[in-house]
Amino acid sequence: MLSIDIQSDQGNLSLQIKTQIPNAVTALFGPSGCGKTTLLRAIAGLTPSRGLLTFNDETWQNDTVNVPSHRRRIGFVFQDDRLFSHLNVEQNLRYGLERAQANGVDIKLTLPDVAEHFDLHPLLRRRPSTLSGGESRRVNIARAVLGQPKLLLLDEPLSGLDNTRKADVLPYLADITRELQIPTLFVSHIKDEIAQFCDHMIVMQQGELVDHGPTAEVLPRLWREPLGTDRSLNEAGSLINATVTDFDPGYSMIHLQVANQPLQVIGPSMPETSQIRLFLAAKDVAIALRAPTDLSIRNTLAVTIGRMTSMQDEAPGFVAVELIIEHSSAPQALSAHVTAAACDALSLEVGARVFALIKSARISTPSIFES
């Protein structure tokens, strides 16, 4: 548990955050300039702040104490490339590892393992100035992880990685943080990334906390309070848990199962039975009374209408419909935005059993696999 109650004034930004972050993977979400990086730097002790910071049973900062960055045992992946230009890749990777060893830290992640997972073996002798953007991102992340951190702070760590690399790095990052239970704070403004990777999320705006909680609760309700002017940040939608059942290389199609119902998305090959989370935008979900045939939309889920809310304030003429997925052991709901006129024409009402149509093209490319 990371307890934060800090203030920091940095130019135009006045950061004031009070929250508790569980030992899990937590997303830090919000429009650019809202103070995500400043918060991360304050937690690391790189940017001065006033107030209290405690991590588990250690006090990092209060009125009398201020533990310096190098004793907080954090791993930090900066937005920009911070490799040491005078050292080669292997020496960069060893930098944090050797200092952890010297301090008697129990080494859980070894250099060969991490190099293997991040596919760094061919790069070990190279100089940082000869690496591509994607390669240097991977080395930056691997170096932070090899420092055996107790808390991992990632400032948009996947920016600059190409699609396939993202798909490689993200699951591995998720695995090690979960397996070794390294609490992680992850700055991102890509909802699919957050849906996939983060258990918990914090939403910030203008230096203040506006929402926090489990991702499955916070992400679907984000659109209710617009964050800045970036429409992609405010997009309404829902999070769906799915299990991979098959992969069809001919169509690059992943076959998924959502509550015993099939769903198909386009994406890279994934091992069977792996669990993934998808973010489905509400505007891409349509409703039909009968299971349609002869339609280019391939994904149809049997659902029951759980709730209907008029969206007078946000989008006049639209209704937000909550669709509960049938045959689901744990309750899962989709949200759809349809016109009030369509609701009346189809006589939609709470409790009705209908079909949710999900535009294949849209969900088939969760943007974790896009640039």
**Sequence-separated (6 or more) residues with CB below 8 Å from residue 126:** 88, 89
- The region of 40-48, 262-270, 279-287, 293-301 touching other proteins under the rule CB under 8 A is 40-48
301 HSE (CA, 13 A, CB side): 32
Among 31, 75, 171, 220, binds other proteins (CB under 8 A): 75
CA 62 – CA 344 distance, rounded (Å): 59
Two tokens, residue 44: 């690391």
**Residue 84 in contact with other proteins, rule: CB under 8 A:** yes
**Residue 130 in contact with other proteins, rule: CB under 8 A:** yes
**Residue 362 in contact with other proteins, rule: CB under 8 A:** no
- The region of 63-71, 169-177, 226-234, 322-330 touching other proteins under the rule CB under 8 A is 63-71
**Residue 359 in contact with other proteins, rule: CB under 8 A:** no
**Residue 46 in contact with other proteins, rule: CB under 8 A:** yes
Say which residue the tokens 């009705």 belong to: 352
**Residue 183 in contact with other proteins, rule: CB under 8 A:** no
Our CB check for other proteins shows the closer of 99 and 224 to be: 99
Instruction: Give the x-and-dash track for 150-169 against other proteins (CB under 8 A).
Output: ---x----------------
Two tokens, residue 288: 């039909």
**Residue 122 in contact with other proteins, rule: CB under 8 A:** no
Among 28, 39, 123, 144, binds other proteins (CB under 8 A): 144
**Closest-CA residue to 216 (of 245, 230, 243, 196):** 196
In degrees, to the nearest 5, what angle opens at C-alpha 11 toward C-alphas 5 and 12? 85
Q: What is the DSSP letter of 128?
A: G
**Residue 251 in contact with other proteins, rule: CB under 8 A:** no
CA 24 – CA 9 distance, rounded (Å): 28
Q: What is the DSSP letter of 290?
A: S
Among 15, 27, 100, 281, binds other proteins (CB under 8 A): 100
Q: Give me the least distance between CB of 46 and other proteins, in Å please.
A: 5
**Residue 95 in contact with other proteins, rule: CB under 8 A:** yes
Our CB check for other proteins shows the closer of 42 and 219 to be: 42
**Strand pairing partners for 144?**
none
**Sequence-separated (6 or more) residues with CB below 8 Å from residue 237:** 191, 219, 220, 223, 279, 280, 281, 282, 335
Residues making contact with other proteins (CB under 8 A): 44-46, 68-70, 73-76, 78, 80, 82, 84-86, 95-96, 99-100, 103, 129-135, 143-144, 147, 153
